[in-house]
Amino acid sequence: MKIRDKLFLGFSLYMLLAIIMAFFSYKELRSINTRLISVEVVDDIANSILEIRRHEKNYLLFKNEESLKEIRSYHIDLNKNIDNIKSEIITEIGTATYTMLKNTMSNYELLIDNLSKTFQSEEKLALLTGTTGTRIEHRLSGRELSDFLTLRRHEKNILLYKDQLNYEIFESFSPLNLRNDKEVSEYRTIVRKLFMSYKDEKDLTDNIRLKGRELQSITKNLSKKEREYIDVTLKKAGKFLFYGLITIILLGIIINIKLSRNIAIPIKKLEEITKKISAGDYSDLMEVKGSDEIASLEISFNQMEKKLLETKFSLEHAIQKLHEKQSQLVAAEKLATLGTFAAGVAHEINNPLAIINEKAGLMKDILEMAEDFKYKSKFLDQVDAITESVKRCRNITHRILGFARKTEVSIEVFDINDIINELKGFLEKEVQLKNIQLEMNLSENLPKVRSDRGQLQQIFLNIAKNAIDAVDNGGVVAIFTGTKDPSTVRVAMQDNGHGISDDALKHIFEPFFTTKEKGKGTGLGLSITYGIIKNLGGDIHVESEVNKGTTFVIELPINPEHTKGEIA
């Protein structure tokens, strides 16, 4: 799986979890909020009941209309509130309790209504008792009046205490003189009714108190249940948040570990290897794992490192080549400077040499014309020696001037094989003299070159003569032609002569360096040869082993880019 996909998946999972958590937390909070409203309503209900009960007390005490009105108004509120949270009440305390609550409420109302009616009838009865009693009192007199007044005292006790004992006292007081009085019997019946009403009132009051308490206990229970529910919900939400947070933290840690294993660790490794590469250590490669972006990065990195290494090698190679070329150039420059210098010296020496030659020649002429004298022959020998020395000097200056003063490079297209073949004619005398075997191994399809024919002929002649000088009588000198590559022609001249020592090889192209005996070589041939070949864009090198032979290899471009106009 690609890292991009992994990252996307990881973060999506993370986000999803967070969203789910947020959603549930929100839901819980919302439900708690609703519950809190319910609690408020329940509290309102409880308060309403308390108010009702307070007014109930007042009503029982003062039997006033205001209290009754209050009770009724609270009752209506209560009913409304209960209807508002009907569903909650049902879920919290069950349908049965709800029904009971409603029933109790209506019972309570009914009882209050009854009580109010009872109060009204009591009032009427009490009034009637009073008027009837007063009327009887006005009609009676004497003993009858005094008995009736006693009866009325008992009546007052009933009205005051409303109890069974005073009622029984009232009933049991029945003087004979009043027994047949119809009005008194009426009065008695009214008082009896009043007492009965009192008894009803008491029952009702008890019942009302009971129902009131019931209501209170139900609301109390409801409130308790609501609070319990909120408690539970809060605890649940807390737990949910706690576990959710732990999950998110754990997931975060896991994603972090995964990411660091997949990205951070390879990148760290990449950094280490990069540092190593900077320090020139190319030994470490990235370990490629999987097939994600990091893996392809690792593959690319390894390829880059390989390329870098190749580039480094080729750069080092190029620098080495450059150094070689540079030293060759320096050498060529040195040789060219020396060549110019040598040519100048040679030219300047040549004229005095010519004078010495003529003077010595004249001396010899004069001596030959002169008569014999004691030292004549010795004198002649001296003159001859001077002439010989001049000849030696002449050879040197001529060689210097012959090579170095050949200034113009004249470029033409020709076949190297032709000038090699022409060498045979130049070398004939020496080859015969030393009985040398001259072998020609010429490539048949040698490409023609653009170069200086005359200079190359001089060079090949010079090297061939050196080869002949190096071999003993009956030695072998072989000349090969061929191509090094499609744009370079190669000429090799091999001999089986005495070879050149390593020390001498180092200096072989330096001017005035020679291994030949004094007077035989100027030490200029090879240095001039080197200069000319370099100037023609070619190259020359020697391989040699003492007593086995020497090979000179000359490489020439078929089509040189440019050639210097002048050598020296």
Partner 1 sequence: MSTKVLIVDDEAEFASTLAERLVIRGYNAKAVYQGDDAMQSVKNDPPDVILLDLRMPGVNGFEILQTIKAFDPTIEVILLTGQPQTEGMSEGVPTGLFDYIVKPVDIGELIKKIINANEKRHKR
The least CB distance from residue 443 to partner 1, in Å, is 27
Burial label, 401 (beta-carbon count in 10 A; 0-12, 13-18, 19+): middle
User: The dihedral of CA 463, 464, 467, 469: what is its sign?
Assistant: negative
Nearer to partner 1, 402 or 560 (CB): 402
Name the strand (E) or helix (H) holding 541: strand 539-545
Q: SS3 of 370, please?
A: coil
Check: CB of residue 200 under 8 Å from CB of residue 93.
no
In the list 124, 227, 394, 448, the residue contacting partner 1 (rule: CB under 8 A) is 394
Q: Which part of the chain contacts partner 1 (CB under 8 A), choosing from 394-402, 420-428, 485-493, 506-514?
A: 394-402
CB of 366 to partner 1, least distance (A): 8
528 binds partner 1 (CB under 8 A): no
Of 107, 84, 87, 112, residue with least CA distance to 98: 87
Q: Does 356 bind partner 1 (CB under 8 A)?
A: yes
Whose Cβ is closer to partner 1: residue 282's or residue 379's? 379
Q: Determine, following the binding rule CB under 8 A, whether residue 361 of this chain makes contact with partner 1.
A: yes
Q: Is 248 an interacting residue with respect to partner 1 (CB under 8 A)?
A: no
**Smallest distance from the beta carbon of 361 to partner 1, in angstroms?**
6
Indicate whether 406 belongs to the interface with partner 1 (CB under 8 A): yes
Alpha helices by DSSP H, listed for 63-163, are 65-84, 86-139, 142-161
For 363-403, the three-class secondary structure string (H helix, E strand, C coil) is HHHHHHHCCCCCCHHHHHHHHHHHHHHHHHHHHHHHHHHHH
Q: Is 385 in the site for partner 1 (CB under 8 A)?
A: no
Q: Does 255 bind partner 1 (CB under 8 A)?
A: no
Q: What is the distance, to the nearest Å, from the Cα of residue 399 to the centroid of all Cα atoms in its chain?
A: 76
**Candidates 121-129, 169-177, 247-255, 363-371 — which segment interacts with partner 1 by CB under 8 A?**
363-371
Q: Exposed, middle or buried, 210 (CB in 10 Å: 0-12/13-18/19+)?
A: middle
Count the residues of the shown chain that bind partner 1, applying the rule CB under 8 A.
Answer: 28
Q: Which amino acid is at 539?
A: D
Task: Please give the DSSP secondary-structure letter assigned to residue 262.
Answer: I
State yes or no: residue 407 binds partner 1 (CB under 8 A).
yes
CB of 393 to partner 1, least distance (A): 8
Task: Pick from 357, 483, 488, 515 the residue near partner 1 by CB under 8 A.
Answer: 357
Closer Cβ to partner 1, 353 or 420, answer by number: 353
- Applying CB under 8 A, among 29, 127, 330, 354 the residue interacting with partner 1 is 354
* 370 touches partner 1 by CB under 8 A: no
H-helix or E-strand containing 236?
helix 182-259
Return the number of other C-beta atoms located less than 10 Å from residue 556's C-beta. Answer: 21
Is the separation of the CB atoms in 380 and 367 below 8 Å?
Answer: yes
Q: Rounded distance, CA 543 to CA 502, Å?
A: 10
From the list 402, 447, 482, 499, which residue makes contact with partner 1 (rule: CB under 8 A)?
402
Residue 465 engages partner 1 in binding (rule: CB under 8 A)? no
Stretch that binds partner 1, among 32-40, 403-411, 427-435, 507-515 (CB under 8 A): 403-411
Closest of 543, 539, 540, 538 to residue 560, by C-alpha = 538
Measured distance between the N- and C-terminal CA atoms of the chain, rounded to whole angstroms: 74
Examine residue 353 and tell whether it contacts partner 1 (CB under 8 A): yes
Q: What is the DSSP string of 442-495?
A: --TTPPPEEEEHHHHHHHHHHHHHHHHHHS-TT-EEEEEEEEEETTEEEEEEEE
Calpha distance 296→202 (Å, rounded): 99
**Which of 306, 398, 520, 541 lies at the binding interface for partner 1 (CB under 8 A)?**
398
**If you search the block for the tokens 């027994």, which residue do you land on?**
179
Which structure tokens are listed for 542?
A: 């020697």
Site for partner 1 in 427-456 (CB under 8 A): 454
- Pick the closer one to partner 1 by CB: 244 or 454: 454
Query: Which amino acid is residue 540, in one-letter code?
Result: I
Among 79, 97, 350, 483, binds partner 1 (CB under 8 A): 350
153/376 with CB nearer partner 1 = 376
Q: Give 326 or 351: the residue with its C-beta nearer to partner 1.
A: 351
To which residue do tokens 């020390």 refer? 503
362 scored as a contact of partner 1 (CB under 8 A): yes
Is 351 one of the binding residues for partner 1 (CB under 8 A)?
Answer: yes
Nearer to partner 1, 436 or 528 (CB): 528
**Complex with partner 1: residue 5 or 358, whichever CB lies closer:** 358
Binding site for partner 1 (CB under 8 A): 347, 350-351, 353-359, 361-362, 365-366, 369, 390-391, 393-394, 397-398, 401-402, 405-408, 454
